[in-house]
Amino acid sequence: MIARVWRGWAAPAGAGAYERYFRGTLSPELLGIPGCAGAHLLRRPDGDEVELSTIVWFESLDAVRRFAGADAERAVVSEHAQGLLTRYEHRVVHYEVAATAGA
């Protein structure tokens, strides 16, 4: 299992809009990709902004490439999402899941 981790920042109103986008648009798109096992959106206050972190779970790096293309570490951020954010990371980090506990 591969965890794909990315961060973006938004003003508080933009963070709420991004959460709605994640639930209504991005999640269904991700779950439609063969090999995508789910996704989480995390948020926390960060000064005047809200930090948004996503963890997307993929069965393999091949599944990641089905989503991101040949440059698997390139962030995939739609124009709509870019409009909700004040800034975001252009590169992502992948982790191999070494152990899990619980559900």
Residue 18, domain member (yes or no): yes
Q: Is residue 91 part of a domain?
A: yes
Look up the CATH number of the domain holding residue 66.
Answer: 3.30.70.100
Angle at 69 between CA 71 and CA 27, to 5 degrees: 120
Q: What is the pLDDT of residue 70?
A: 95
Q: What's the pLDDT at 73?
A: 97
User: Can you give the pTM of this predicted structure?
Assistant: 0.93
- What residue numbers bound the domain in which 24 lies? 2-96
pLDDT at 15 over 90: yes
State residue 102's pLDDT score: 84
- Flag whether 38 is in a domain: yes
Q: Residue 103 above 90 pLDDT?
A: no
Number of domains, the chain: 1
Over the chain, what is the mean pLDDT? 96
Q: For the segment 53-95, what is each residue's pLDDT rounded down to a tens digit?
A: 999 999 999 999 999 999 999 999 999 999 999 999 999 999 9
Q: Is the pLDDT of residue 33 over 90?
A: yes
Mean pLDDT of 11-35: 96
